[in-house]
Amino acid sequence: MRASWRETLLSYAFLAPALLLLAVFTFYPLLYGSYLGFTQYGGARFAQGLAPKWVGLDNFRTLISDPLFLTSLWNSLKYLLVVPVLQLASLAVAVLVSKELPGMAFFRAAFYVPVITSVSLAAVMWEWVYNRGGTLNWSLNLLHLLPQGGAFGWLNNPHTAFWAVMLVTFWRGFGYYMVLYLAGLQGIPTELEEAAVLDGASAWQRFWRVTVPMMRPTILLCTLLSTIAALRVLEEVLVLTGGGPLNSTYTALMYVYSKAFQGFNFDYGLASAAGLVIAVVALLLSIANFRLFRDAQGGER
């Protein structure tokens, strides 16, 4: 019994530094930020050093009546359209680069380069692609898909800016999910693939009957991560469009950022309330993903 207690205390002693860091940098900010969502805190009150004032649900009523917040939340929900495209493309390319062929290591590294590229550098590159004299307009003119000598401002048009920014998000996240899928593919026993080949299954049948069912946990993980990431898009919007034009790229997290850190109000209470709404939406979508995958797995059985 004494040895068991010793092992338990030793285990918690090793966990203590990590738990302390989590408590200070994760749990406390989470709880305090949630509390601020129900208070009035910011602006003059913050400058005077006054404590947050409890206002209950007033911040949430303000959000519901704010057209800008509703627009930003709708834009974030539209951003979820990138999730299935990103996952299908990442999985398909992961299957291709998992083959042991000459030069395949180069392609794996090349696909991962955007993940480690800084946002500022990516913004400079994509602005060069999207501007009126950029490579996209040059290519479309070369293919005669634009009027002769025509130029289109992809980030200046409210009908195209949202999709242009979404393409940058796709470009930045593609390699990350490809690597996760590649790790999952390498964990599939080769005996299953060989047995399917002996049974006469085609490559398409092997993919749907062997690869996809075995990759279900990885697909769930990547879908959850990309769903949450889509709701939290900020950097691309901030450096490329700033939420414009006409708020067409203004996302929910951009709303939180602007209320908390831009202008002179520094409305931390309202920003925290908006953050709580985003967290609840992300939680509901995560639960839906779990239920969808669980029901699909139960149906296969």
250 part of a folded domain: yes
50 part of a folded domain: no
Nearest CA to 217 among 281, 296, 282?
Answer: 296
pLDDT band (50, 70, 90) for residue 46: low
20 part of a folded domain: no
pTM (2 d.p.): 0.86
State the Cα–Cα distance between residues 57 and 191, nearest whole angstrom: 58
pLDDT band (50, 70, 90) for residue 295: low
Q: 66 — alpha (psi -120 to 50), left (phi > 0) or beta?
A: beta
Q: What is the CATH number of the domain that holds 190?
A: 1.10.3720.10
267 part of a folded domain: yes
Range of the domain at 292: 55-300
DSSP string, 83-121: HHHHHHHHHHHHHHHTS--TTHHHHHHHHHHHHHS-HHH
16 part of a folded domain: no
State the Cα–Cα distance between residues 32 and 291, nearest whole angstrom: 31
Instruction: Return the pLDDT at 301.
Output: 53
- State mean pLDDT over 266-281: 92
CB of 76 within 8 A of CB of 233?
A: yes
Instruction: Return the pLDDT at 192.
Output: 81
Instruction: Please state the domain count of the chain.
Output: 1
State the Cα–Cα distance between residues 225 and 218, nearest whole angstrom: 11
270 part of a folded domain: yes
CB of 79 within 8 A of CB of 166?
A: yes
41 part of a folded domain: no
pLDDT band (50, 70, 90) for residue 253: very high
Instruction: Return the pLDDT at 251.
Output: 94
pLDDT digits (tens, 9 = 90+) for 198-252: 777 787 888 888 888 888 889 999 999 999 999 989 988 998 998 889 999 999 9
